[in-house]
């Protein structure tokens, strides 16, 4: 089946493209390459363009009638969104609305899986966090996701759009076969930064705050292997294609292992896996970082039978390290459809 994957040249999307192809689907990728990498698209048909360009989307859908949509495209940095709120609300929210409008123009819309985030919970007061916890978005990034979740709920009520919202906690790791990995520009995620320091590509890394109310004072996060994330999407997709998502079915699902690792524990895992004593400095807290974010993914497990295959942090780090050691030297030109050696 043809499945539209927006943002399929990015970190999670490119892994999903491979997972879809392995499951016998034909991925049709829409990516502007503003952050993604052409060389990360290892299967399917890449259509370079913007999800906010309605005419472009119509032409893609006319050429490739799709049975479902997995919508990853968006900007991903909470901190950056504090500096550029309008850019985030335009790219993540307004352009998602355009996508939903185009999908519903021609009658019965295909089902949609939307990439949301644990950031919608902000400083949750419960841990692990269930889907029923209140939205407390602390950044325009988190707000941009809440608004799309709301629009999807509206599209379900008004236009019968079946959908699932997956709220990811921290995606981590790399393709276990070493074909793909994480390559954000700039990189702000802990594991790739620590691995780049281990590889000598950075001088070291900073721990942002060691005075949180956690066992070792550093922030605790729930890391979920990117392959397990893709497996969750495949299970949800299969059920959506079979009719799930009508009526009172649950539509919002956390994706995390339910286990938290502190920043210090992750750095220890990096040192152990790489054999390098990564240089670390202690810095002040970053604005808006909650102390603990751990998922209650009971709903995903019970409704779709999902279970992570790689829930151990050292395995995630080992896969990411294998990628870090072999990935191509970066080149510029990821935008405007030119080839890039990134990813």
Ligand X SMILES: NC(=O)c1ccc[n+]([C@@H]2O[C@H](COP(=O)([O-])OP(=O)(O)OC[C@H]3O[C@@H](n4cnc5c(N)ncnc54)[C@H](O)[C@@H]3O)[C@@H](O)[C@H]2O)c1
* 323 near ligand X, judged by CB under 6 A: no
**Per-residue string for binding with ligand X, 193-232, x by CB under 6 A?**
----------------------------------------
* 70 near ligand X, judged by CB under 6 A: no
Among 74, 109, 256, 290, binds ligand X (CB under 6 A): 74
Among 3, 4, 5, 9, binds ligand X (CB under 6 A): 9
DSSP string, 106-167: TSSPPPEEEEEEGGGG-S-SSSSBPTTSPP---SHHHHHHHHHHHHHHHHHHHH---EEEEE
Helices (H), the chain: 11-22, 54-63, 78-83, 85-88, 95-105, 140-159, 190-198, 226-241, 263-274, 298-304, 313-326
C-beta closer to ligand X: residue 39 or 274: 39
Nearest of 104, 240, 112, 228 to residue 173 by alpha carbon: 228
Contact 16, 166 (CB under 8 A): no
Choice among 11, 141, 168, 223 that is catalytic: 141
Among 3, 28, 66, 76, binds ligand X (CB under 6 A): 76
**Per-residue string for binding with ligand X, 97-136, x by CB under 6 A?**
------------------x-x-------------------
> Strands 261-262, 220-221: parallel, antiparallel or unpaired by DSSP?
antiparallel
Site residues for ligand X, window 150-189 (CB under 6 A)?
A: 168, 170-171, 184
Contact 290, 123 (CB under 8 A): yes
| Chain residues in the site for ligand X (CB under 6 A) | 6-7, 9-13, 30-36, 50-52, 72-74, 76, 91, 95, 115, 117, 168, 170-171, 184
Active site residues: 141
């Amino acid at each position: 089946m043809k499945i539209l994957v927006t943002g399929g040249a990015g970190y999670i999307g490119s892994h999903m493209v491979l997972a879809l192809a392995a499951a016998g689907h034909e991925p049709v990728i829409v990516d502007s390459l503003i952050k993604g990498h052409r060389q990360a698209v290892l299967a399917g048909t890449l259509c370079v363009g913007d999800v906010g360009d309605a005419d472009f989307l119509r032409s893609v859908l006319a050429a490739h009638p799709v049975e479902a949509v997995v919508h990853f495209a968006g900007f991903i940095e909470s901190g950056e969104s504090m500096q550029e709120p309008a850019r985030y609300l335009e790219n993540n929210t307004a352009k998602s609305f355009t996508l939903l409008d185009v999908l519903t123009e021609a009658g019965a819309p295909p089902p949609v899986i939307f990439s949301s985030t644990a950031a919608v919970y902000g400083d949750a007061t419960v841990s692990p966090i269930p889907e029923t916890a209140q939205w407390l978005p602390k950044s325009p990034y988190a707000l941009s996701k809440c608004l799309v979740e709301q629009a999807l709920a509206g599209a379900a009520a008004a236009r019968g759009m079946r959908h699932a919202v997956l709220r990811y906690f921290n995606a981590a790791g790399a393709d276990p076969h070493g074909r793909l990995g994480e390559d954000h520009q700039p990189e702000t995620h802990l594991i790739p930064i620590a691995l780049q320091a281990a590889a000598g590509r950075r001088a070291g890394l900073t721990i942002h705050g060691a005075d949180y109310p956690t066992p070792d004072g550093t922030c605790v996060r729930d890391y979920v292997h990117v392959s397990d994330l893709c497996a969750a999407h495949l299970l949800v997709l299969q059920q959506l294609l079979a009719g799930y998502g009508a009526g009172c079915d649950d539509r919002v699902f956390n994706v995390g292992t339910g286990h938290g690792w502190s920043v210090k524990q992750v750095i220890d895992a990096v040192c152990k896996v790489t054999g390098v004593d990564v240089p670390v400095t202690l810095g002040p807290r970053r604005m808006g970082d909650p102390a603990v974010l751990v998922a209650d993914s009971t709903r995903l497990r019970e409704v779709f039978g999902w279970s992570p295959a790689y829930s151990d942090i050292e395995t995630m780090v080992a896969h990411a390290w294998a990628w870090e050691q072999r990935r191509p030297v970066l080149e510029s030109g990821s935008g405007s459809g030119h080839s890039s050696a990134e990813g």
